[in-house]
Every structure is written in structure tokens, then in C-alpha cells.
Amino acid sequence: MRPIIKGNWPTDAGGAKIQFNSWGEAKPFLIQNTGLFCHFCEMKLDNTPAIEHVKPKALKHSPNLQNHWGNLMLICDYCNSRKTKAQIKLYEYYWPHKNNTFKALNMDMTGIIKVEDGLVAPQSDKAANIIDLYGLDKTNDTAGGMDARLRARLEAMSKAINRLLEYQAGHATIQAIVDNASSSGFWSVWFRLFKNHLPVLNALANDFHFRGTALTCFDAANDYFPLDRNPADL
């Protein structure tokens, strides 16, 4: 899961916070700051992504959360429909705008999202909780077919592997790789597969389409080794 920087609450020309009359009004600012990708599964979005309320907008005791910038994220329809309805405690989860989720989650070669090896409780619990909350490890949809996110992730993996082989053979340019990554989504897939090729990592980390990547989560001077975003808790 790509760690992101959403940015501060958007302001108007006079520097005052923009008061959103509906959560949809925050969408252009989220896209402007982080690109057109689901903040959770990393799928490439169309031009009409959904808005996720980290804490449910229906909470009667917190009506101000409906249009609160800090509570709004970009989400695909699949993660949105898979999200569990349980009440949550934010501190029991790792979030892409607060933690280094690249360091918390990984995937196997079948494209299944999993907790990063080596994490222990409570870190492993928080990583598992965010997977469970959005069903990120689901292999089938509710109708029994392959989960659309998994299918798209596998397609991105296939493209990334092909581009890697071509790059190693001198037949793919860095720009072609980045163009493929931005059109297919799943930044983490590309960033992991090209981990031994620093010029490609540099391009992926700084590409305009993947704007808002939390670069402080990586040591650029050490082959983009993942760093704790919050030293006390990933």
C-alpha cells in the first residue's frame, strides 16, 4: 500500500479553510494531491472515484466528520463495497496517510496482500486489521468470480515483470516503465519488482501521476529502503 501525503486542509485565495458543503467537493483536491488511485488497494481509478469516510459518516455523535478533510480518502468501488460495517478505533489500524503502509503490507507472487513478514504484535495486528477492513486479501467477489482488485493487480504484476525483463535486456526505457505503471496502477507492485534498479525507483517515486507519495518513508540514499514514518509505531 503506497504511503501518501494528502496535504493540509485546502484553503481559498484568502488562506481560509474551504468549508465543504458535501464530501464530494473534496474529491478534486484529493486527486490533485495524490493522483487517481485508490488509497487502499492502489487500483487505477476513473475520473469519478468514490470518497471514503475513514470513520463512518453515519456516526450520530460525530456529524462533523462527513465533510472533514482529515476523514476523507479516495477509494475504488470494490474497496468501498468490501469495507466492513463495524465501528473502528483508528489507532488499531495502519493508514496510508499516517503510517508507512509499504512497510506494513506485502504480497506474494499470486498477488495476495498479506502482512509483511517480520512484523509482530501490535504492528502485525494493525496491518492485518487494515487488510480485513477493506477485504484487501479477497480472492473472489460476492458472485464467486475473481476479485476485480486481484485481477487488476495480477495484470499489473505481469506487465511489471515483462518490463523488468525488457529493462534488464536493455529494451525498455525508464519512461516506458513509468508510463506503464501509471496507466495500470499498483505503485507498490512496480516499486517492489524494480527494487534493484535505483534509476527506475527514482522515477517511480517522483512521477507526477504518483504525486503525493510519502517520500520520507524511504531512504533514497540507501536504495529507497523503507523507513518508519512514526518512529514509535511504523
Any idea where the domains of the chain sit in the sequence? 23-221
Q: Please determine, for residue 48, whether its predicted confidence score (pLDDT) is greater than 60.
A: yes
Q: What is the pLDDT of residue 56?
A: 82
* 127, 173, 178 from 136: Cα distances, Å: 11, 32, 24
Residue 14, Cβ neighbours under 10 Å: how many?
5
Q: Please determine, for residue 59, whether its predicted confidence score (pLDDT) is greater than 70.
A: no
Q: Where are the alpha helices (DSSP H) in the chain?
A: 27-34, 77-82, 101-104, 123-134, 148-168, 174-184, 187-193, 198-206
Q: What is the pLDDT of residue 168?
A: 98
Flag whether the pTM goes above 0.85: yes
Per-chain mean pLDDT for the chain: 94
Mean pLDDT is lowest, of 8-17, 49-58, 88-97, 173-182, for 49-58
Per-residue pLDDT band at 141 (split at 50, 70, 90):
confident
* 157, 211, 223 from 234: Cα distances, Å: 26, 21, 19
Q: Which long-range contacts (CB under 8 A, 24 or more apart) does 227-233 make?
A: 227/100, 227/103, 228/100, 228/103, 229/3, 229/98, 229/99, 229/100, 230/98, 230/99, 233/99, 233/123
Sign for the CA dihedral angle at 44, 80, 133, 26 comes to positive
Q: What is the pLDDT of residue 55?
A: 87
More confident residue, 87 or 181: 181
Side-chain-side CA neighbours of residue 112 (13 Å): 11
Q: What is the pLDDT of residue 103?
A: 97
Residues 143-148 have a mean pLDDT of 89
Q: What is the pLDDT of residues 79-101, one digit of tens each?
A: 999 998 778 899 999 999 999 99
Q: Please determine, for residue 63, whether its predicted confidence score (pLDDT) is greater than 70.
A: no
d(CA 152, CA 147): 9
Q: What is the pLDDT of residue 62?
A: 64
Q: Please determine, for residue 124, whether its predicted confidence score (pLDDT) is greater than 60.
A: yes
Q: Please determine, for residue 142, whether its predicted confidence score (pLDDT) is greater than 80.
A: no
